Amino acid sequence: MALIPSQVLRAAILLSYFSILCNYRAIDMPAHQTYGGSWKFLTFINLVIQAVFFGVCVLTDLSSLLTKGSESLEQERQLRKLIGLRDWMMAVLAFPVGVFVVTTFWALYLYDRDLIYPRLLDNFIPQWLNHGMHTTVLPFIIIQMRTTHHQYPSRIFGLIAVCSFAVGYVLWMCWVHHVTGVWVYPLLEHISPLAKVLFFSCLTFLVSVYYVLGEVLNTYIWDTSSKSKSNS
């Protein structure tokens, strides 16, 4: 019975991401009409990552319930594949990218919001939607980590994957600038080319730190839970 509330919770989180994405896409904002559309913003990419991840979580929950008590080896094999995909997405994308978006957005916002989220956007994006994109991501992913144990890949392969994602996004931003002559984020307009290289390097390092943080946190939560059960 303990599994049922977490299943419902994951389904509710998935529905909330669908609502956020639909409301965001419905906004008639000039930036959506330019090259790259919403896909040039890491916030939007992260929302898609989180929605797909929780979709895989819900699908895994449903498959687990449907195959419970079944002796079909093929069903078990498919379930293991889903669990493997869920765990990989949590380790490499959902946790590090989600935490990165929340922490860097609010750090820059508190320092000088015009560097990352100009006041003009308040005319298009309501406060609740802004928090849905940049705040609730963190508690949602912590809830998932607390309710489900995830098997992390080896650290070296995990770091290679998350750094590949970070470098890929940096190259995508540079390409958008090459095509349009405008940087995706206003902050990049105010720093020199060398400072940009250092900035991108620091951000890639930071997302790697968040990968390791997720791995350590996952191990701590579930090692502590195991010890508590064995001592009770």
Share of the chain above pLDDT 70, in %: 93
Using 50, 70 and 90 to split pLDDT, how confident is the model at 3?
very low
pLDDT tens column, 120-138: 889 889 999 999 999 999 9
The rounded distance, in Å, linking the Cα atoms of 176 and 197 is 16
Q: Which of 86, 104, 118 is nearest to 10 (CA)?
A: 86
pLDDT tens column, 134-175: 999 999 999 999 999 999 999 999 999 999 999 999 999 999
Helix (H, G, I), strand (E, B) or coil at 155: helix
Helix (H, G, I), strand (E, B) or coil at 187: helix
pTM for this predicted structure: 0.91
Domain count within the chain: 1
Using 50, 70 and 90 to split pLDDT, how confident is the model at 228?
low
Contact in structure between 204 and 166 (CB atoms under 8 Å): yes
The encoded tokens of residue 46 equal: 């992260």
The encoded tokens of residue 70 equal: 């079944």
pLDDT for 1: 39
Its domain, for residue 222, covers 3-231
Average pLDDT, the chain: 90
Residue 5 has pLDDT above 80, yes or no: no
- Cα-based distances in Å from 225 to 7, 147, 186, 230: 19, 11, 45, 9
pLDDT tens column, 52-110: 999 999 999 998 887 776 667 777 888 899 999 999 999 999 999 999 999 999 999 99
Which string of b and e fits 146-180 if b means at least 16 CB within 10 Å?
A: ebbebebbeeeebbebbbebbeebbebbeebbeee
Contact in structure between 211 and 96 (CB atoms under 8 Å): yes
pLDDT for 227: 56
Which residues have a Cβ under 8 Å from the Cβ of 76 and sit 6 or more positions away? Answer: 67, 70
- CA dihedral for 56, 57, 59, 63, sign (positive or negative): positive
- Cα-based distances in Å from 23 to 44, 57, 106, 145, 161: 12, 23, 21, 27, 31
